[in-house]
Amino acid sequence: MPDMPDSVLGLEAKLYVGAAGASLTVLAVPTSELTIARSVELSLTSSLADVTVRKSAWRLQRRALKEATINVELLYSPADAIFKLLFAAYDTGGAVGIFASDGFGSGLLCDASVTEFSQPQPLEEAIIVKAALLPTFSTRYPVWIDAAA
C-alpha cells in the first residue's frame, strides 16, 4: 500500500466485497473491488446507555456498543459479478464479506447483511441502486484495520 497522504479523496477509497468470512488478503484484491460504486458512506456510531443518577441535574450517558452502516450507491449493472453477489445476499438474507477501506489499507472488515437494495428509475438518468450493509452475526466480529499500526 502507498504512504498515507495528508488528505484523501473519496475516489481513492475502496469498497471490497466477497464471500462471508473471507480474509483481508482474499478480499482486498482488484477483482473484489466494487468498481461500479458512485458513492460510499461508512457511518460509525455508538449506542448510548443511560447512567443518570438522582444526585445529578443532568442526564448522564455512557457509550455502549459500536455500530456501523455502509451505504452504497452503485450503477445498476446486473451483469457485474459483485452486483450479483450483493443482490443475492439481499434476496436470500445471506451475508457478504466487506472491507470498506480508505484506499491506503485502513478500514472496517466485517461480514454484512444487505438490508436495502432500492432501485429508483428516473426518466433521464442512469439507474442508481442504493444498498445498505450492516455488520451481522457470522464466524467473526467486525474489526477496524489500521494500516499504520
The pLDDT tens digits of the residues spanning 42-71 come to 999 999 999 999 999 999 999 999 999 999
Percentage of the chain lying above the pLDDT 70 cut? 97
Inter-CA distances, 31 with 19, 35, 83, Å: 12, 9, 13
Asked if the model's pLDDT at residue 120 lies above 90, the reply is yes
Q: Are 131 and 86 in contact (CB under 8 A)?
A: yes
- Enter the pTM of the model: 0.90
Give the DSSP letter of residue 92: H
In the three-class reduction of DSSP (H, G, I as helix; E, B as strand; rest coil), residue 50 is classed as strand
pLDDT of amino acid 47: 97
Q: What is the mean pLDDT of the chain?
A: 94
Over range 86-93, report the average pLDDT: 97
Query: From CA 55, how far away is CA 58, in angstroms rounded?
Result: 9
> Could you tell me which residues are beta bridge partners of residue 116?
132
